[in-house]
Structure 1
Amino acid sequence: MKIAFVGKGGSGKTTLASLFALRAAATGAPVLALDADINQNLAVALGADETTAAGLPTLSGHVGVLKEWLRGDNPRLPAADRMIKTTPPGRGSRLLRVDEDNPAYDAAIREVVPGVRLGLAGAFDDADLGVACFHAKTGAVELLLGHLVDGQGEYVVVDMTAGADAFASGLFTRFDLTVLVCEPTLRAVGVVRQYAGYARDFGVRLGVVGNKIADPDDEAFLRTSLPDDVGLLAVLGSSAHVRAGDRGADRAIAGLEPENAAALDALRATLDALPPDRVRFQADTVALHRRNAERWAGAALLDQIDPDFVLPAPTS
């Protein structure tokens, strides 16, 4: 199952993404975490030290390897460099699993803490400043997710860029559930309303997790302020464990407060109960690719669409 964490800057979405990933991994579930935020902080939030985090490879830096692997022997892709971020899989394409070894993962995915493998979109470097947007980095993440076949009981956890900027690429359609992390403030609720407004026309499954909830009044404020069609899935209170981790203490998930751990378990149960819709997922991939081809990439790329292909169910 694929879950994304979004929200206002400073809402705690990176923290929530890391806690969800760590909590799932602690139960033995396969977890692939992806950092698609312009601030690449997920590795440290998961528990990697700063030196290790700084030395991690990036998906954007190995996008050529990723494309060549995914291309397989798809006859609609005569060359890997013709693939763009929305190129959909078709017959002959190689599909990815959450827990496997392949050349693309070998190049760009690392187990940063036990049970959690991490892929980074990649940060800006000096050559990017003033001439590139961050979506040039997240394209590799989008391509990976478009070719991923995930099963029940395994998780892809994505830390997204803050606010509604996620709608500048097709990433926002790639998930079984998108979690809006919301503090009990008018500004944070405003971001939820904006995101929900953009998402309604695309059938994106949304839910809210309240974060930094200090008392019943905070929770009541969220319940009465959120849009009617976006439910409050769970609430987490202030966490001494998280604050200690931010100061360099051990981030092992066993130290999380029981009430906050229970909130993460409730969120996971909600995700597990959602039925996968691979037909819609492939249709969204094709629709976004068609839009990109027609608007900027060139109509010739429409030939990459395999009209009869549907993502298969995962096999054990």
Structure 2
Amino acid sequence: MPVDRVLVNLDLNLLVTLDVLLRERNVTRAAEHLGSSQPAVSAALARLRRHFGDELLHRVGNRYELTPLATRLASRTAPALAGVRRVFDAHAEFDPSAVEREFTVVTSDYAAAVLGPIVTRLLAERAPGVRLRLQQTSPYAVDHAVDTLRAVDGIVLPHGFLADTPFTDLYEDRWVCIVARDNDAVGADLTLAQLGELPWVVLYNLPTAFAPAAQQLRMIGVEPRVEVVVDGFLPMPFLVAGTNRVALLQEHLARRIAGFAAVRVLACPFEVVPLAEAFWWHPMYRADPAHAWLRDVLTEAGRRLAAAGENHPRS
């Protein structure tokens, strides 16, 4: 394979400087962040401008703005740095008790709330030098999963959204309905008719971003009357409390938060496919011992969560 002359002549420190400059949009602040001098960062910016043939930062009044090229680069520097770190963090063997590194996992606030505490306890016990970064998922991250997975260690996501991607199954959960504790219009059981009449709190409500159970409800001919749309599961119980609204929530989360949010947890009045949560990861990690260890930790955390859920009283 021929040598890539661009990479041979490129100082990787420039990538770090570029990332900070594009985020700070200010040479002085970038220098402070990097622990460097302002002249050194100015010199690096000059080298970057020569390399790209672009100003990257241009002055508008008393501030700097990104050029169109710099705007495109800003979305690429963080994934590129993450890839470089992964290369130099790699070892033939992995000793979790001795290593210092960070794993980044993209996840919903739901999975972070119910699985995250178990994972962090396991990490604290077995790998005190490991830091876990839980990054909030988004429709964009899922729709562009190939690009997302190149920059992180993986995504915790239910089956049904990704295909042709390696995954590790974690645990199953059950969808339940929540209504306000003081909602007298709903008794001990909900009906399909009520689900069609009551106002809803829903997640995202976009063509490619939705709660799977809500999509199933639409497939059986019940169209939720959406009143509130949120970008996460944790606000839902508090937006249901004290109202006549209804929402679908995962049982592990609903049981934990029902008392705080003054909501009741009820069984769904239709047959809902269980939520099968998995950890999705890029094929480049298949033989990575550190990543294999992380997958094992997540799998064990999923087993512990499932075991704890067996003690929940069922609706």
Confirm or deny a common fold (TM above 0.5).
Answer: no
Q: Taking structure 1 as the reference length, what is the TM-score of the superposition?
A: 0.25
Q: Which has the higher strand share?
A: 2
Please identify the structure whose Cα radius of gyration is greater: 2
